[in-house]
Amino acid sequence: MTTPATPSAHPHSPLSFVEEILLLALDDTTGALRPMPVMGLDYALAGALLADLALANRIDTDPQQLVVLDRAPTGDPLLDRALGQIASAPAPQSVSHWLGVFASERSTLERAALERLVARGILSQQEKKFLWVFGVRRYPTVDNQERVEVRTRLSALILGEDLPDPRDAILISLLTASHLLARIFDDARYHARSERIATLARMDLVGREVAAAIDTLARVLRTATPVMGM
């Protein structure tokens, strides 16, 4: 995949799912990516990319296939590159197919999202580490309202009883499916809310497809044996 040009992120445009997933994946102290399950971040970012396209009303999904609703560019090079790939397929493919395609392009998604977060002033890059800019713990506006930083938002959602807004339901679903949520929220308070987390995670189809793809991969890895005597 050719690396798309990093857009000049407008400081007041909402963060994408890809950007929010990357923020959660970074360790606040070291600026490095947290230890992740095998392929977890790959599929989380792939699912986030599809969720961003769905939110932009460019694609729709069902358990059998993913279809393009609108081929018009979004103005986001990362999304438009992915939309072009989907639209140019000779026939509609399943969500799991496209998750596999975009999971294989994880390094491109990761690099583009990090560059955009630096351009927004949310992260700073220091000696190859990406760190939160001091004092910047709220996101650009969404529908004229400032968004609380994602970890704070999701923590309140998991520990409380409020219904999630659609964006946060998608995030919970993606993070749970890719086994990242347990790495990010790893203490007894969250473990005790496993049933609520499972309920929230079932609210989004793409998240469920991410879970299925990772489970399939795990089974393949468990049964794979090295070829000897080549």
Report the CATH number at residue 130.
1.10.3630.10
pTM over 0.85: no
As a three-state string, the secondary structure of 218-229 is HHHHHHCCCCCC
Q: Which long-range contacts (CB under 8 A, 24 or more apart) does 112-117 make?
A: 112/3, 112/4, 112/6, 112/18, 112/77, 112/78, 113/16, 113/18, 113/19, 113/21, 113/22, 113/45, 113/78, 114/22, 115/6, 116/6, 116/7, 116/9, 116/19, 117/9, 117/19, 117/22, 117/23
What is the domain extent for residue 57?
17-221
**Residue 4: inside a domain, yes or no?**
no
**Structure token pair of residue 37:** 């399950």
Number of domains in the chain: 1
**Residue 58: inside a domain, yes or no?**
yes
**Residue 5: inside a domain, yes or no?**
no
Predicted confidence pLDDT, tens digits, the chain (230 residues): 444 444 445 555 778 999 989 888 887 777 788 887 767 889 899 999 999 999 899 998 876 789 999 999 999 999 999 999 999 999 999 888 999 999 999 999 999 998 888 888 888 877 767 766 655 555 444 444 445 678 888 899 999 998 888 888 888 888 888 888 888 888 899 889 999 998 888 877 777 778 777 766 566 545 544 443 43
**Residue 7: inside a domain, yes or no?**
no
